[in-house]
Amino acid sequence: MTAFYRQSGSMMSDRKSLSSLADEFGTPLYVYNRGAIEHAWQEFETALQGHRHLICYAVKANSNLAILNILARLGSGFDIVSVGELRRVLAAGGQADRIVFSGVGKSAAEMAAGLEAGIRCFNVESDAELDRLAEVAAAHGVVAPVSLRINPDVDAQTHPYISTGLKENKFGIGMSHAMDSYRRGAEHASLAIKGIDCHIGSQLTRLSPYADAVALLIDMVDRLADEGIRLSHLDVGGGQGIAYSEDEASLDIGAWADCVIQGIGDRDLEIMVEPGRYVVGQAGVLLTRVEYLKNNEDRHFAVVDAAMNDLIRPALYSAWQAIEEVETLPRESQVYDVVGPICESADFLGKQRSLAIAQDDLLCVRSAGAYAAVMSSNYNTRARAAEVMVDGDDAHLVRARENIEDLFANEYLLP
Ligand code: LLP
């Protein structure tokens, strides 16, 4: 499904033109498309049909309440990494018993919040965390459901900053130690060992790392069963990649599911998956207006009103995201670095892009539904952008633009 398309030269989402949204809500503006989010989520649902499964949307990719609510209405589960995300999911109507709690550094207070809410499972990443969770659960007089996150030491073949399944990464429990951790967990009366999980990285576009990881995890499931530790689910994490450029292909979700199901064979294991980027990535764009065009010697710059505080992926990961004119207008084409107003050379949205634009024209940065608005900051005391959800004929404001005064409302002068 194409959430954003061109009609008579104008970029559209459903029946709304992006220009009309910029006029109504201002820029910079994040625009999401409800149908595209639902469609991407349904791809997992369809692919896993016939096998016991739970799709736990990775909230960190985009935690806007409207998005969580759209997914909750579909019956989605959620993968959270903080008490903040827990509160968001509950506020958006998500069901506690469909929440898994990931993350390498859960505090005792976060564990308590998860137990009080009655979440499905804690994805535990170390012996120390196992012991702490056992203590917190005992103090609450409850039994905590546990899965151990295994670090299978497989190469996800993605950007080093978003690769998580290698032993040099901080994540998970190493293969050689994991059996011991399971035995340790099984001894705690306040823990119920439920599953096994991994997350080997993000933006994976090949199946082989998944196949390798599942094979390693399944081997462990069998060895645990031999010792009498029986698991009821296998959580393969997220990571399904999308096509940021035309020369990339997104991961085929049908083929991905076949690969996981094949790896599980006839074992009675519920499949859990934690997709973030795949569900929302292509369902969002960032709209920005050209403030100035300028040249330094022979370099051409389009200075726009969105900046690295709005979208940090290009600066942080050298990520490439497509940038297009919102309206096709009769302009001379030029190669530009598209840069923001922030006082840093890393403040760019894209470099060396061929664009036909003039001052005050609108640009749209594609594939900005995931890890975009959620990673924004107030650097340079810039208010965060507004967010809008297009749904057919309607566009709903789902996050208001921040007020400048609110940005320093929690700061105090000295007496
Ligand atoms: N599960 C766990 C435990 C994770 O750590 C992550 C992402 C996911 C699921 C979801 O992964 P996804 O399906 O979205 O790839 N900020 C980076 C991506 C960081 C991903 C962190 N973990 C970026 O902008 O590319």
Residues 224-238 have a mean pLDDT of 98
Residue 153, pLDDT score: 87
pLDDT > 70? residue 159: no
Q: Are residues 252 and 329 in the same domain?
A: no
Q: Are residues 276 and 288 in the same domain?
A: no
Domain count, the chain: 2
% of the chain at pLDDT higher than 70: 98
The average confidence (pLDDT) of the chain is: 96
Task: Give the span between the Cα atoms of 314 and 319, in whole angstroms.
Answer: 4
Contact of 13 with 3, CB cutoff 8 Å: yes
Is residue 414 included in any domain, yes or no? no
Final residue before a domain boundary, out of 280, 297, 318: 280
Residue 257, pLDDT score: 98
Q: Are residues 270 and 315 in the same domain?
A: no
Q: Which helix (H) or strand (E) holds 203?
A: none
Q: Are residues 228 and 326 in the same domain?
A: no
Whether residue 343 lies in the annotated active site: yes
Q: What residue owns the CA closest to ligand 1's atom 24? A: 371
Task: Give the span between the Cα atoms of 260 and 11, in whole angstroms.
Answer: 38
Residues 190-198 have a mean pLDDT of 98
Q: Are residues 351 and 378 in the same domain?
A: yes
Closest by Cα among 373, 370, 366, 364 to 304: 364
Contact of 388 with 395, CB cutoff 8 Å: yes
Residues 273-282 have a mean pLDDT of 98
Is residue 75 included in any domain, yes or no? yes
Q: Are residues 235 and 331 in the same domain?
A: no
Assign 165 a pLDDT band (cuts: 50, 70, 90).
low
pLDDT > 70? residue 254: yes
Q: Which helix (H) or strand (E) holds 254?
A: helix 253-264
Is residue 243 included in any domain, yes or no? yes
Task: Give the span between the Cα atoms of 279 and 200, in whole angstroms.
Answer: 18
- Give the residue numbers spanning the domain of 179: 34-280
Task: Give the span between the Cα atoms of 349 and 346, in whole angstroms.
Answer: 9
Residue 162, pLDDT score: 65
pLDDT tens, position by position, 312-371: 999 999 999 999 999 999 999 999 999 999 999 999 999 999 999 999 999 999 999 999
Is residue 412 included in any domain, yes or no? no
Residue 341, pLDDT score: 98
Task: Give the span between the Cα atoms of 16 and 13, in whole angstroms.
Answer: 5
Q: What is the pTM of this model?
A: 0.97
pLDDT > 90? residue 157: no
Final residue before a domain boundary, out of 280, 295, 320: 280
- For the CA atoms of 63, 259, 125, 153, the dihedral, rounded to the nearest 10 degrees, stands at -120
Q: Are residues 200 and 141 in the same domain?
A: yes
Is residue 260 included in any domain, yes or no? yes
Q: Are residues 288 and 268 in the same domain?
A: no
pLDDT > 80? residue 23: yes
Best of 277, 371, 377 for a ligand 1 pocket test (most atoms within 8 Å of beta carbon): 277
Residue 13, pLDDT score: 98
Q: What residue owns the CA closest to ligand 1's atom 9? A: 238
Q: What residue owns the CA closest to ligand 1's atom 23? A: 371
Residue 155, pLDDT score: 81
Is residue 319 included in any domain, yes or no? yes
Q: Work out the number of other CB atoms within 10 angstroms of the CB of residue 118.
A: 12
Q: Which of 56, 121, 343, 364 is catalytic?
A: 343
Atom of ligand 1 nearest to the CA of 123: 3
Atom of ligand 1 nearest to the CA of 201: 15
Centre of ligand 1 from the C-alpha of residue 277, in Å? 7
Q: Which residues contact 40 (CB under 8 A, 6 or more apart)?
A: 1, 278, 279, 280, 282, 283
Q: Are residues 224 and 308 in the same domain?
A: no
Q: Are residues 72 and 185 in the same domain?
A: yes
Q: Are residues 76 and 212 in the same domain?
A: yes
Closest by Cα among 115, 207, 213 to 171: 213
Q: What DSSP state is assigned to residue 245?
A: S
Q: Give the CATH number for residue 192.
A: 3.20.20.10
Is residue 415 included in any domain, yes or no? no
Is residue 396 included in any domain, yes or no? yes
Q: Are residues 78 and 214 in the same domain?
A: yes
Atom of ligand 1 nearest to the CA of 281: 14
Q: Give the CATH number for residue 334.
A: 2.40.37.10
Final residue before a domain boundary, out of 280, 315, 344: 280
What residues does ligand 1 touch, defined as CB less than 6 Å away? 58, 61, 79, 102, 162, 199, 202-203, 237-240, 274-278, 313, 317, 371
User: Which pair of structure tokens corresponds to residue 403?
Assistant: 């007020």
